[in-house]
Structure 1
Amino acid sequence: MEIKTMLPEHWSSVKKIYEEGIATGNATFQTTAPEWEEWDASHVKNSRLIANENNKVLGWAALTAVSGRCVYAGVAEVSVYVADAARGKGIGKKLLQALIEESEKNNFWTLQAGIFPENISSIKIHEDCGFRIIGRREKIGKMENSWRDTLLLERRSSITGI
């Protein structure tokens, strides 16, 4: 398996994996995956990765800017998704480690993640990669008819001068 830069031609596989994550009910508040143009416009251009094995996308990771204000230019939110059939094999952790490296090359000093407390495996890989839980956002969003909490995790770069 290798970690590669995500390209537009990977979108159909990336979208399918995203939809598998949505279907779990514990990966995102999103209920549908966007089309490429919308996804592309909302994610940082220089930090998009896929896990690839035998020309098959097994997972993906990307960053979203948390703000358009220049003072937050080095702060981004992390997304990591792994295909149903590839879960439990360490792919998410490898993607997150590579995304951290890529983010630091591009001068990001803080990465954050909002994770449902029920998503134990995602919390664990983030903690294993140096993220720490800094808070719980209670009833931050509604899914169907239920209010959901998220844990806010953060990782500060040790090499970008902070």
Structure 2
Amino acid sequence: MPAAYTLRAAAPRDADALAAIYNDAVLNGTAIWNETTTDAEGRRAWMEARHARGFPILVAVDAADRVAGYASYGDWRPFEGFRHTVEHSVYVAAEARGAGLGRVLLTALIEEARTAGRHVMVAAIEAGNVASIRLHEKLGFVERGRMPQVGAKFGRWLDLVFLQLVLDAADTPPDARETPASLHG
């Protein structure tokens, strides 16, 4: 981990910082295909919804406890048959990019998913974001599909790349009675 940062669970007091990082991605990039920004209250509501479903939100903070990035995962699809699969997001503040925080956050999130008994983690990345695709591949994700022109932003079509990481070696899914309650949709 970059020496200047530590990881911890996100707290309601982080909502302003999470909104700022999210809004930067909305306004200036294609990591998020939304075109509408949010505010701290919107991020707090998002955090509450994630926590209510048992999903983690990790933040990377500097020595002054300022948030430099965050990561989370949630349902990949909201149907019971997909309860063992999650899709994740990792965002780093513009001023902290290039310090290795994306890798640190994603590595920690993968471990969170394994500990929670998840089976697969999915990444959906804009095809032009080669750095993110390469990071995922270095961490064991495998490209599983490309969908041309499924999104639009900044007046152009966007292509989506799906990558997958199998988190465990289970040959069969756990019996529903043995599955942690947080995995039931």
| TM-score (norm: length of structure 2) | 0.80
| Match 1:46 to one of 28, 49, 55 | 55
Q: Aligned equivalents of 2:75 and 2:12: distance in 1?
A: 19
Indicate the residue corresponding to 1:121 in structure 2.
131
Gaps of 5+ in 2: 172-185
Indicate the residue corresponding to 1:63 in structure 2.
73
- Residue-by-residue CA offset, 1:22-63 (whole Å, 9 max, x unaligned): 223221111123413542365353321001111111100001
Indicate the residue corresponding to 2:148 in structure 1.
138
State the AA in 2 paired with 1:148. Answer: L
Task: Judging by fraction of residues, say which structure has more strand.
Answer: 1
Cα drift, residue 4 of structure 1: 0.7
Indicate the residue corresponding to 1:94 in structure 2.
104
State the AA in 2 paired with 1:146. Answer: R
Q: Aligned equivalents of 1:154 and 1:42: distance in 2?
A: 24
Q: Aligned equivalents of 2:49 and 2:130: distance in 1?
A: 26
The structure-2 alpha-carbon separation of the partners of 1:113 and 1:65, relative to structure 1 and needing over 3 Å to count, comes to same
**Paired residues of 1:58 and 1:82 also in contact (CA < 8 A):** yes
Q: Aligned equivalents of 1:135 and 1:38: distance in 2?
A: 32
State the AA in 2 paired with 1:26. Answer: T
Between 117-126 and 72-81, report the one with greater CA deviation: 117-126
Percent identical residues: 28
Gaps of 5+ in 1: none
**Paired residues of 1:42 and 1:64 also in contact (CA < 8 A):** no
Q: Aligned equivalents of 1:33 and 1:105: distance in 2?
A: 32
Secondary structure (helix, strand or coil) at the match of 1:58 reads strand
Cα drift, residue 120 of structure 1: 1.6
**Paired residues of 2:22 and 2:91 also in contact (CA < 8 A):** yes
The structure-2 alpha-carbon separation of the partners of 1:2 and 1:157, relative to structure 1 and needing over 3 Å to count, comes to same
Q: Aligned equivalents of 1:4 and 1:152: distance in 2?
A: 28
**Paired residues of 2:90 and 2:102 also in contact (CA < 8 A):** yes
Indicate the residue corresponding to 1:29 in structure 2.
33
Q: Number of paired residues?
A: 161
